[in-house]
Chain A
Amino acid sequence: MAATVIGPGITIEGEVSSDDEVIIGGTLRGKLEAEGAVTIEGDAVVEADIGAQSVAIGGSVIGNVTAAERVDLLAGGKLIGDVKASRLTIADGAVFKGNVDMEV
């Protein structure tokens, strides 16, 4: 199994589901489901709800993020939407607007 890479210059309008890792450097509008880790790279634009094992956001995400394990909002990352995960880190410099549910 290899990672799915949606590179820069790729635009997907629709649903992406994967049983493994997904790395997005391009544009995705729709929905993203992955059983592995999801990485949103710096230049990526994601307008989708994301469900994954873990999510690392370095780019721009508009949508709700649900992770079984953790969500990392990296420096330079932008998230507008709700987060549901047992662990969440927000780096200095990240932009975030939304609710957090850490299942307390």
Chain B
Amino acid sequence: MAQATSIIAAGTVIRGRIRAEGDLEIHGHVEGSVSGAASVTIGAEGLVKSDVDAESVIVSGAVAGNLRGTERVLLEDGARVVGDVSAPSIGIRPGAKLRGRVATGAGSSAPEAPRKPAVAAKPAVQASTVKAAQGSTVKRPPAVAAPSPVPTKPSVAPVTRPAAAVAPRKVEPTVKRAPEPVVPVLQKRTKKAVKRRAR
């Protein structure tokens, strides 16, 4: 059952998500996403405007999207690919056209991580700082919750929370700094902030 080959013939247009077990041949037009297949073959007439994830991807047609193979990606003669290609084993035959990044070898099994910082450093930094910020809130949730009104009215806090009066002074600067990474800031500064917080 799972090994059955599915064929999207020329003249067929699919817009949406395709999840596949087994093999998939695309000779038609696909927009959306293709994932899960053991093998995806994109024929010479095939036109795919989507990311393709599969064990092996063989392209003879046109693809606008990223190709990820857990085993291999092969671009045949006549293939036209605009997008990133990653797989442990990648073949590009003479006559194939490619515009995009190529990541091959053992490290390419997790292609998303190394690719993103190179393309756009900011999202990655933001992500890490967000994690750091989350970490800090997890470490001392009551302290973060309590002093948020404190910066505006410092005199109120000691009165309402005499027990926490000592803690907010230490926490206050980190709380002020915490929002900064969320708003894009100089990367070096945020990295330092992350290190500081890590210590």
Contact = CB atoms under 8 A, between A and B. Distances in A.
Nearest to A43: B1
B22 A7 contact: yes
B14 A15 contact: yes
Chain A interface size, under 10 / 10 to 19 / 20 to 34 / 35 or more:
20 to 34
| Among all A-B residue pairs, the 4 with the closest Cβ atoms | A14-B16, A9-B21, A7-B4, A7-B6
23 contacts: A1-B9, A1-B10, A2-B7, A7-B5, A7-B6, A8-B2, A9-B21, A10-B6, A10-B21, A10-B22, A11-B20, A12-B14, A12-B17, A12-B18, A13-B16, A13-B19, A16-B12, A16-B13, A16-B16, A18-B13, A19-B11, A20-B9, A30-B16
Given A4-B7, A10-B6, A10-B22, 10 more contacts: A1-B11, A2-B7, A4-B28, A7-B4, A9-B1, A11-B18, A12-B16, A13-B17, A14-B17, A18-B13
A22 interface: yes
B46 to A, nearest CB: 12
B60 to A, nearest CB: 16
Contacts of B21: 9-10
The main secondary structure of chain A at its interface with chain B is strand
A91 interface: no
Q: Which among A3, A9, A11, A18 has the highest number of chain B CB atoms within 10 Å?
A: A9
A26 to B, nearest CB: 7
A6 B37 CA distance: 13
B29 to A, nearest CB: 9
A77 interface: no
